[in-house]
Amino acid sequence: MTATFVVTAPLMILAALGILVVRKAVHAALLLAVVMINLAFVYASLDAPFLFAVQIIVYTGAVLMLFLFVLMLVGVDVSDEVTESIRGHKVASLLMGLILAVIVLAMIGQLSLGTMKGLATANAGGNLEALANLLFSRYVVAFEATSALLITAAVGAMVLAHRERTEPRSTQAELARERVRAYGESGLHLGPLPAPGTLARHNAVDTPALLPDGSHAKQSIPAGLHGHPKNGTAIEANHD
């Protein structure tokens, strides 16, 4: 147990400090994964297999992956803003940090005075059995309240993500009329552009497609290749 703690504790501290230093949210999420995995090994060294499995499967494998997916959808190259957008956020963070420090100091004091039960007493009869006995007997109200809170949060997320359609869905005829109207007003192409090399001898990206009259469709060539020196030669060669 001591060897595991000596290895994992410095890694957790360095990763936690890195979360405060890095500017990109995706890097902070990856460092948080390092903290969670090392914490799981600490649980395993303390003869807590249930907490070890929950830490890996639920927190690291599910919750943290959800964070990463959200960050990837929002944008991984966007740095966090340094401007404070929520009023009183710093004061609330400082207050919560002080409360956490008081709780940690109280736990250390109880360990020093020997008022807390040891692992052998807490895990009497098995770790899973002892944990289930506490959850569904002494802490059943808190357990059920937490369950209701999680269900409420899930329902609230679904309600916030739901959007009512205020206009009827456009039909195919309406979409076609919109494309024709855009073509008449701005010259926007009615349909997809012809693929490069269509009806030509060579199927290359710099080979233009041929129109029914035999002329070249310049729109079939990517914009970056219009100035390519080979482009004109390829056009003439395929035209012949």
Residues 105 and 207 in one domain: no
Residues 157 and 220 in one domain: no
Per-residue pLDDT band for 232 (boundaries 50, 70, 90) equals very low
The stretch 213-231 carries a mean pLDDT of 67
pLDDT of residue 159: 82
The string of pLDDT tens digits covering residues 153-169 is 888 888 877 777 777 88
Q: Is the pTM of this model over 0.85?
A: no
pLDDT of residue 204: 64
The stretch 60-78 carries a mean pLDDT of 72
Kindly state whether residue 95 falls inside one of the protein's structural domains: no
Backbone angles phi, psi at 24, to 5 degrees: -95, 135
pLDDT of residue 200: 47
Kindly state whether residue 113 falls inside one of the protein's structural domains: yes
Q: Which residue has the higher pLDDT, 203 or 182?
A: 182
Residues 144 and 67 in one domain: yes
pLDDT of residue 148: 92
For the chain, percent of residues with pLDDT exceeding 70: 76
The stretch 61-80 carries a mean pLDDT of 70
Residues 137 and 127: their CA atoms lie apart, in Å, by: 15
Kindly state whether residue 179 falls inside one of the protein's structural domains: no
Residues 152 and 237 in one domain: no
Task: Give the residue from 144, 161, 178 where a domain finishes.
Answer: 161
pLDDT of residue 222: 72
The stretch 105-133 carries a mean pLDDT of 74
How confident is the prediction for the chain on average, in pLDDT? Answer: 77
Task: Give the residue from 115, 140, 161 where a domain finishes.
Answer: 161
Tell me the two tokens of residue 161.
């993500």
Per-residue pLDDT band for 201 (boundaries 50, 70, 90) equals low
Residues 117 and 219 in one domain: no
- The CATH number assigned to the domain holding 65 equals 1.20.120.1200
Residues 148 and 231 in one domain: no
Residues 217 and 121 in one domain: no
Residues 128 and 206 in one domain: no
47 and 119 Cβ atoms separated by less than 8 Å = yes
Per-residue pLDDT band for 21 (boundaries 50, 70, 90) equals confident
The stretch 54-78 carries a mean pLDDT of 76
Residues comprising the chain, all counted? 240
Residues 114 and 44 in one domain: yes
Residues 206 and 105 in one domain: no
Residues 127 and 211: their CA atoms lie apart, in Å, by: 76
Kindly state whether residue 235 falls inside one of the protein's structural domains: yes
Residue 114 has pLDDT above 50, yes or no: yes
Domain count, the chain: 2
Kindly state whether residue 60 falls inside one of the protein's structural domains: yes
Kindly state whether residue 220 falls inside one of the protein's structural domains: yes
Residues 109 and 228 in one domain: no
Task: Give the residue from 161, 180, 209 where a domain finishes.
Answer: 161
**3-state SS record for 112-129:** HHCCCCCHHHHCCCCHHH
Residues 56 and 110 in one domain: yes
Residue 181, CA distances (Å) to 113, 164, 177, 188 in order: 82, 28, 6, 9
pLDDT of residue 119: 64
Kindly state whether residue 144 falls inside one of the protein's structural domains: yes
Helices vs strands, H then E, count in the chain: 10, 2
Residue 23, CA distances (Å) to 10, 16, 34, 64, 152 in order: 22, 14, 17, 18, 32
The stretch 86-102 carries a mean pLDDT of 86
Q: Which residue has the higher pLDDT, 116 or 38?
A: 38
Show the domain range for 205: 193-240
Kindly state whether residue 93 falls inside one of the protein's structural domains: no
